[in-house]
Amino acid sequence: MENQKPIIATASLAGCFGCHMSLLDIDDRILNLIELVEFDKSPINDLKKFTRHCDIGIIEGGCCNSENIHMLKEFRKNCRILISVGECAIMGGLPALRNGIPIRECIEEAYWQSPSVKGHNPEMILPNDQELPMLLDRIYHCHEIVKIDYFLPGCPPRADLLYDALVSIITGTEMKLPYEVIKFD
Amino acid sequence: MSTNGSVIRCSIDGKEYLAKAGKYINDVARENGVYIPTLCNVIGIHPQGACRICTITVNGRMMTACTTPVAEGMDIKTNTSELQDLRKSIVELMYVEGNHFCPACEKSGNCELQALAYRFQMMVSRFPYTFPKRKIDARNPKLVKNYNRCILCKRCIRAIKDEQGRSYFAFRKRGHKVEVGIDVDLGKFISDEVAQKAMDICPVGALIKKEQAFRIPIGKRKYDKTPIGADVESHHV
């Protein structure tokens, strides 16, 4: 029976880990969840790579660089059901405030102009290590890149919404959606 | 034909009602505890019919409830699944047309567009986001005009006037470039009271009174626990 438990993987792309925090906010129900599922690649257990095919993938955050896109595609390949969690994954969220501002302008502001760096970077160095992932021209939300099966809005999504969604998918029951759980902030 | 003021009989969602001819369908429905979602409409201000959220069917034809007067024998349906989906799609279109970053918005929790999205259980917009490049105008001493969030409902233009009946706000430009601007000269003399009224009349966060944001904590804002329209529905049970 043990290996028949559904397997969950999670990732935070261009997000703040708030949605993962909200997942932990289900409090003692996390013990029920552990009964129901196993975790694979996730920051929660610090597994860096997929070890097997997963049933549910939870994506927090949109895509701001090439590494995010790579990771998202990996998740799509390795997960049967993919869920966009939180405003950043659904519509870009706060990182998407830079959409419309040229990338050069963003980088110069971050490394040359903003009050905390002005005068502290006399050689005008911009990060250029080849190991660094390339920034994208704008933020792409997840369903622009791959097919997403479900969306859970919120900033972060309420713990009850996350828990109920997972339980509904795992047990195959219809989800209750009380008014208080669907919020965009 | 019934004349204005005479009493007519119409049916709303299968129930018969008596109403004064000439009254708008939206007002008749509200008085009888039937909530028709609205966005550009303000009670007491001449209706505009701009947003089409209040679309209903009258004898099978789609009409806006805020601008259509009731008449004898009307068979009005306010809540068919087709209408529900149409309304939801309008809200979704508005979300992708502007830049509605709810988590960073001062109006979040008190925003009518957001409240409608909550009521319609919008999890994501079915349309592609456009992320238009729009500006923020903070020149006015009392108000910040955020063009990213404006939905062009004209509520501020219609409702906020000075003592001589001049509007502080006006449409400018045309077509898809149309926007609501604050009169630069008249706007200099805007009082705190009128600025507050302007912020309250704006259904979204396009008009924000300076030094007012985030006063009410999350959980106590207007639409945190109570859906929009609940006041109408609870009125007549």
ipTM score of complex: 0.91
Q: Residue A174 pLDDT more than 90?
A: yes
Determine contact: A57 vs chain B, CB below 8 A.
no
Domains defined along chain B, listed by start: 7-79 (3.10.20.740), 87-209 (3.30.70.20)
Chain A CB contacts of B121 below 8 Å: 177, 182
B173 touches chain A (CB under 8 A): no
Residues B183-192, mean pLDDT to the nearest whole number: 92
The distance from CA A42 to its chain's CA centroid, rounded to whole angstroms, is 11
Residue A127 lies in a domain: no
Q: Give the list of residues 6+ apart from residue A17 with CB closer than 8 angstroms, or none.
A: A43, A60
Please list every residue in chain A whose beta carbon sits closer than 8 Å to the beta carbon of residue B101. 87, 93-94, 96-97
CB contact under 8 A, B123 and A182: yes
Quote the pLDDT of residue B1. 52
CB neighbours of residue A110 within 10 Å: 13
What stretches of chain A adopt beta strand conformation (E)? 7-12, 38-39, 54-60, 63-65, 79-85, 135-140, 150-152
Residue of A nearest to B230 (CA): A179
Contact A60, A13 (CB under 8 A): yes
Please give the backbone phi and psi of residue B19, each rounded to the nearest 5 degrees, phi first: -150, 160
- Paired with B161 in beta bridges are B167
Say which amino acid occupies A146.
Answer: V
Contact A152 B104 (CB under 8 A): no
**Alpha-carbon Rg of chain A, whole angstroms?**
18
pLDDT at B234: 84
Assess if residue A129 is contained within a domain.
no
For residue A37, the distance in angstroms to the closest alpha carbon of chain B comes to 25
Query: Which range has the worst mean pLDDT, A17-21, A79-83, A121-125?
Result: A121-125
Domain count, chain A: 1
At residue A4, the pLDDT reads 81
Q: Is B102 on the interface with A (CB under 8 A)?
A: yes
A38 within domain boundaries: yes
Determine, yes or no, domain membership for A168: yes
pLDDT at B235 over 70: no
Answer for the pair A56, A39: CB distance below 8 angstroms, yes or no.
no
- Note whether B219 contacts A: Cβ–Cβ < 8 A: no
Mean pLDDT of chain A: 93
Determine the residue type at B122. M
Distance CA B105, CA A87 (A): 13
- Calculate mean pLDDT across residues B20-39: 95
CA Rg value for chain B: 19
Which residues of chain A does B117 touch, with a Cβ-Cβ cutoff of 8 Å?
A: 184
**Chain B CA closest to residue A87:** B103
State whether residue A5 sits within 8 Å of chain B by CB.
no
Collapsing DSSP to helix, strand or coil, B195 comes out as helix
In a domain, A126, yes or no: no
Cα distances (Å, whole numbers) of residue A38 to A35, A46, A83: 8, 14, 17
Interface-testing mutation among B93, B110, B123, B218, with chain A (most A C-beta atoms within 10 A)? B123
Locate tokens 């259509």: which residue? B68
The pLDDT mean for chain B works out to: 94
Query: Which residues from chain B sit within 8 angstroms of residue A14, using beta carbons?
Result: none
Confidence tier at B168 by pLDDT (50, 70, 90): very high
Q: Which residue has the tokens 């009850």?
A: A160
A24 pLDDT above the threshold of 80: yes
pLDDT at B6 exceeding the cut of 50: yes
Residue A11's domain spans which residues?
A: 2-99+135-181
User: DSSP class of residue A131?
Assistant: T
Chain B, nearest residue to A183 by Cα: B118
Q: Find chain A residues with C-beta within 8 A of B102's C-beta.
A: 87, 155, 184-185
Give yes or no for residue A157 having a pLDDT over 70: yes
Residues of A in Cβ contact (< 8 Å) with B224: 180, 183
Confidence label for A3 from pLDDT (cuts 50, 70 and 90): low
Instruction: Check pLDDT > 70 for residue A84.
Output: yes
- Work out the pLDDT band at A1, boundaries 50, 70, 90: very low
Got the DSSP string for B115-138?
HHHHHTT--S-SSPP------EE-
**B123:A91 CB<8 A:** no
For B37, B59, B61, B89, the CA distances from B82, given in Å and listed in that order, are: 14, 15, 12, 11
- Which residues neighbour A95 within 8 Å (Cβ) at sequence distance 6 or greater? A14, A61, A62, A64, A88, A139
B95 burial level (CB within 10 Å; 0-12, 13-18, 19+):
buried
CA angle B180, A185, B160 (to 5 degrees): 25
The closest alpha carbon to A184, from B115, B128, B151, belongs to: B115
pLDDT band at A34 (very low <50, low <70, confident <90, very high): confident
Tell whether A155 lies on the interface with B, counting CB pairs under 8 A.
yes
Domain CATH for A79: 3.40.50.700
* Region B173-185 average pLDDT: 93
Residue B18 pLDDT class (50, 70, 90 cuts):
very high
Q: Which residue on chain B is closest to A100 by alpha carbon? A: B133
Q: With 80 as the cut, is the pLDDT of residue B2 above it?
A: no
Residue A170 domain-assigned (yes or no): yes
Show residues of chain A in contact with B124, CB under 8 Å.
84, 90-91, 143, 151, 153
Min Cα separation A136/chain B (Å): 15
Pick among A150, A179, A180, A181 to test the B interface (most B CBs inside 10 A): A179
pLDDT at res. A36 = 87
